[in-house]
Structure 1
Amino acid sequence: MKNYIQELEMLDKKHFLHPTSSIQQQQQNGPSFIFTKGDGVFLEDIKGNRIIDGMSSLWNVNIGHGRTEMGQVAMEQMSKLAFSSCFATFSNEPAIKLAAKLAQLSPGHLSATFFTSGGSESNDTAYKLARHYWILKGKQNKQKIITRTKSYHGVAMGATSATGLKPFRDFTNSLAPDFHYVNHFSPTALRELIEKEGPDTIAAFVAEPVQGAGGVHPAPENYFKEVRKICDQYGILLITDEVITGFGRTGTYFGIEHYGVVPDMMCFAKGVTSGYAQLGGVMISEQIHKDFTELSTGTLLHGYTYSGHAMACQIALKNLEIIENENLIENAKQMGHKMLAGFKWLQSNHNLIGEVRGLGLMGAIEIVKDKETNERYASPLAPLIVAEAAKRGLVVRSVVFDGQDTLVFAPPLVINEKEINQMIMILSETFSAIENQENIKL
C-alpha cells in the first residue's frame, strides 16, 4: 500500500493540474490528502485518516457524503437514459420535473429554469440572458453589469469579470468589458454608480445574499430591500447568485428569503445535487419568461451540451427529496446557531479571534493581532491555522483577499450537535497551538 500511495502522489504531481491551487506547493509536497471515502460530515483518505469536512468540500455537499441512495438513483436513471440533448424542442422527464419543482420552491414569481453544468456557467448565462432581454426590449445600450466588492461569481470569463475579488481578475490580462463594482454594503454607492454611468446603459445588478468565498458576509438589515427599490426605480434587473446559499445552506431554501425580496433572476448550482452530479441553472421571473416568449423571433443561441442532463436532474430531484424528508433546512438553522455560539466561545478564550459571524451553516472567524484595534498580522495567519486544523482532523478554508485574514466554514447540513462540538474543540486546540508558537507575538 505504501508504494501504491507513493505512486499516486507522483502521478498527481506529474499529471494533475489542481484547480485554485499553488502549483509550486503541489510540485514540492504532492497532495495533502487523497480522499477515498465519505460518510456524513466525514472524509477518509487513502492513509486511513478521518477528517471532518468543515466546508462541505466546496460549500456543496449539503446532504453529506456517502449517500448510497444517490448512487442507486444514478444507476437507475443511467440504465434508462443517462443523457439526451435538450436543444430545440427535445426534452426529458427528469429535467421537466426538476424545472417544475424549482418553480414550486423558489421565492416569488421565479418560474422557469435554464440548466447549466455549474455555478460559473450559471452566472455567465444570467449575464447573457439579461443583456439579450434588453435587446429584445429595444434597449440595446443596457449592457453593463454591476457587482460588489468582496464578491465571487466563478471563473468563466464573464463570471471572473463579475467577481469583485481583484486577484481573480488579475489572473488574466483580458477581462470582459462593461463590468463595474460597488461597495458590498452600500446602496448609496450603487445609486451613485447608476447615475454616473446612466441607467440606460445598465442591464443588471448581481449580488450574493451572503458573500461566500469573499469571507462569509451576510448583508446588513434592509440592504436588499433598498437595492430592490433602486433596481425598480432605474429599470435594472436584480440577479441573485445563490450558488453557495441555495438549498438550505443559510437555514432557508434560498438565502435571499432572509431579506424579504424577490430577484428577477436567480443563479444556482452546488447544493442542488449536493455534489453528486454536476448541475446548475438560472431561474427567471414569470414576466421575463413571458417577454422572451412574446418578443423572440429567432433561436435562443445559448446552450450547453449538458443543459438539462437527465441523470443530473434525477440526482437533483432525489437530493431535494432528502433535504425535505430529513428536515435539513431546519437542522441548518439550528446547528448554525450552535456553530456560531461555539465561535463566540472560542472568541472569549483565544486572543487571536476577532469578529465571528454566520448565517445558518455558513460562518467566519476573523484573525486579529489586537482585538481592541482590529490590527492584523503583516502576514495572514489563517492559512497556517487551516494547515494546523487539517493535521488535527478538520478541513476549513482561509480567505486572505482584500486585507482579510479569515477562516470560513460550511459543514454539511446533516451535521449534529456532537459533531459541531467536535469541530469547535479541534479549533480550540488549533488556536492554542498557533498561539504558543514562538514566532507569534501576541
Structure 2
Amino acid sequence: MRAVQASGELILERGEGAHVWDDAGNRYLDATAGLWYANVGYGRTEIAGAAAAQMRKLHAYSHYGDVSSRPTTDLAERISGIAPMADAAVFFTSGGGESIETVVKMVRRYWSLVGEPDRTVIISRERAYHGLAGYGTSIVGTEAFKVGVGPLAGGTATVAWDSPEALEAAIAEIRADRVAAFFCEPIIGAGGVLLPPKGYLQAVQGICRAHGVLFVVDEVICGYGRVGDWFASNRIGLEPDALTFAKGITSGYVPLGGVVVGKRMQEPFWETGAAGVWRHGYTYSGHASAAAAAHVNLDIVEREGLVARGLELENEIAEALAPLAAHELVSELRSGFGAVAAVQVDPALLADDPGLSDRIVLGARRHGVLGRVLVGGGLQISPPLVITRADLDELASGLAGALDDAAAAHHS
C-alpha cells in the first residue's frame, strides 16, 4: 500500500477483446486475462445481458438443502458432462479460495465418515498457490504469503514441486493412514508458471492411488479452455477424486467457483445415513445470476472454438515471445502447455536488485502492455483466449521495450 500511495492508482474504465483502457484513454494489451480469468475477453455484452435477465427474474436464493434454481442445476449438469471423472457432482462457491476451503473440509469429512478419522494431513507442493483463505494460506507453497499472519491451520505438509519421489517419501514419513489428500495444480501458476515435468502428474496420481490418498487437482487457473481442453486433467488423462474451479467458468464477469467430486468421494455423503447434514456452505453458493452468466460464457467458448484456440496459443505464444529469450535481463522462457507462459527475469540480477521485475512491469505500461510479476520474478503471460497473433506481437514488442528501458537504467 505504501507503493500505491507513492505512485497512485491505475483506474481502468473499459475493455474490449484482449485490450483495456484507463480513465485517461490509454489502451493496454492485457497480458494476463485479468487474474488468469478473462478467457472470452472483455466487452461480452451477452454475458451481462444474461445475468441482468436472471436478476430481473430471480437474482438469487439460498441453495442449501433441497433448494436450487434452474440455471444452477443445469450448470452443475453441464460441468459434470465435461469433467474428467464419471458421474461427477458439483458444489458451487463464490471463487477459488472458497473452493479450496470446501474441498479441504470435504476430504477430511470423507475420511471421518469411512472410519479413518486420523487421516487429516493435507500435502501440497512448494511454490503452489491455492488461494489465501484460511486453509489456502496454510497449504500455499511460498512462505511470503504466510508472513505475519500468526498461527495457521495444522495438519499440513509440503513437498518439492517436481518430484514424485518426494511425495512418496512424505507419505511414508507421515504414514499413509494419516494422509488425507495431495493437492496439486497441473501448472503452478502464481508460483511462477512452472510446467509439470513429463510424467509427473500421472506419477503422483499413481502414488496417491497406491496409498489410498485422495488426489485433488486445483484447476482454478487451467479450467475452461486455458490449456487446450476443458480441464488440464482431461488433456493429460487424469481422473482426480476432486477438482476445484473458478475464473474461466464465467471469465470473471461475475464471481463463481466450485468443487467437482467423483464417485469415490460422493459415496459416504450420499449412499449411507452416517453423514447426516454436512454443515458447510456459503451465502452465494449456486448463485442463480452467476450461473446464468456462466452458461453464456460457456456458450461463447463452445461457439468460438476457444478450447481449441487455447491449444493453438500454446505455439503462438512461444513463437511471439521467442525473441525475448536473448535479452540480457531474461534467463528463461517457460511455455508449452496451453495459453500460459512466463518470461523469467534473471534470478542473479534479482538477487542484487529485487525490484527489477516490478519496474519492468510498470515500464510495460508505458509501452501499452498491462502485466504482473509472479513469485520468483517471472512475468506472467496468460492472455484472453480471443487474442490474435497480431496482438501477441504487440505484447512481445511492449515487453521488449520495457526490458530495454530497464536494462538501460540498470547500466546507468
| Matched residue, 2:365 | 390
The correspondence for 2:3, drawn from 25, 42, 58, is 25
CA distance in 2, matches of 1:345, 1:98: 42
Shift of 1:196: 0.4
CA distance in 2, matches of 1:147, 1:258: 22
Shift of 1:88: 1.1
The correspondence for 1:378, drawn from 346, 349, 352, is 352
The correspondence for 2:385, drawn from 396, 413, 416, is 413
| Aligned amino acid, residue 338 of structure 2 | G
Shift of 1:260: 2.1
The correspondence for 1:159, drawn from 119, 125, 136, is 136
Shift of 1:300: 1.1
CA distance in 2, matches of 1:419, 1:110: 40
Aligned with 1:240: secondary structure? strand
Is the Cα–Cα contact under 8 Å of residues 64 and 274 in structure 1 kept in the other structure?
yes
| Aligned pairs (5 A) from 1:59-208 | 59-109=36-86, 111-208=88-185
Unaligned runs of 5+ in 1: 1-22
Q: Report Cα offsets for 1:203-248 as digits up to 9, x if no partner.
A: 0000100010000011111101111111011110000001111111
| Aligned pairs (5 A) from 1:346-361 | 346-348=324-326, 350-358=327-335, 359-361=337-339
| Aligned amino acid, residue 198 of structure 1 | R
RMSD: 1.4
| Matched residue, 1:440 | 411
Q: Report Cα offsets for 1:167-196 as digits up to 9, x if no partner.
A: 112241120111110000001010111010
| Matched residue, 1:9 | none
CA distance in 2, matches of 1:283, 1:228: 17
Q: How many residues of Structure 1 are paired with residues of Structure 2 in the alignment? A: 409
CA distance in 1, matches of 2:246, 2:269: 23
Aligned with 2:271: secondary structure? helix
| Matched residue, 1:330 | 308
Is the Cα–Cα contact under 8 Å of residues 361 and 413 in structure 1 kept in the other structure?
yes
Q: Report Cα offsets for 1:58-116 as digits up to 9, x if no partner.
A: 10011001111111111111111110111111111011100000011111326100100
Which structure has the higher relative contact order (CA within 8 Å, separation 6+)? Answer: 2
| Matched residue, 1:50 | 27
Is the Cα–Cα contact under 8 Å of residues 268 and 275 in structure 2 kept in the other structure?
no
CA distance in 2, matches of 1:239, 1:180: 15
| Matched residue, 1:8 | none
Asked if 1:299 corresponds to 2:277, the answer is: yes
Q: Report Cα offsets for 1:120-170 as digits up to 9, x if no partner.
A: 000010000000000000000000000000000011111110100111122
Shift of 1:280: 0.3
Bigger shift: 189-198 or 292-301? 292-301
Is the Cα–Cα contact under 8 Å of residues 269 and 281 in structure 1 kept in the other structure?
yes
Shift of 1:428: 1.5
The correspondence for 1:311, drawn from 266, 289, 302, is 289
Shift of 1:290: 2.6
The correspondence for 2:398, drawn from 426, 430, 435, is 426
| Aligned amino acid, residue 237 of structure 1 | L
Aligned with 2:411: secondary structure? coil
Shift of 1:279: 0.5
| Aligned amino acid, residue 391 of structure 1 | R
The correspondence for 1:247, drawn from 210, 224, 241, is 224
Shift of 1:335: 2.2
Aligned with 2:29: secondary structure? strand
CA distance in 2, matches of 1:175, 1:80: 42
The correspondence for 2:240, drawn from 251, 263, 282, is 263
| Aligned pairs (5 A) from 1:216-227 | 216-227=193-204
Shift of 1:261: 1.4
Unaligned runs of 5+ in 2: none
Aligned with 1:436: secondary structure? helix
CA distance in 2, matches of 1:74, 1:312: 7
Shift of 1:376: 4.9
Q: Report Cα offsets for 1:316-375 as digits up to 9, x if no partner.
A: 111111001000111122123111112222213x12211111221111011127xxxx67
CA distance in 2, matches of 1:184, 1:279: 28
Aligned with 2:115: secondary structure? coil
The correspondence for 1:288, drawn from 262, 265, 273, is 265
Is the Cα–Cα contact under 8 Å of residues 331 and 345 in structure 2 kept in the other structure?
yes
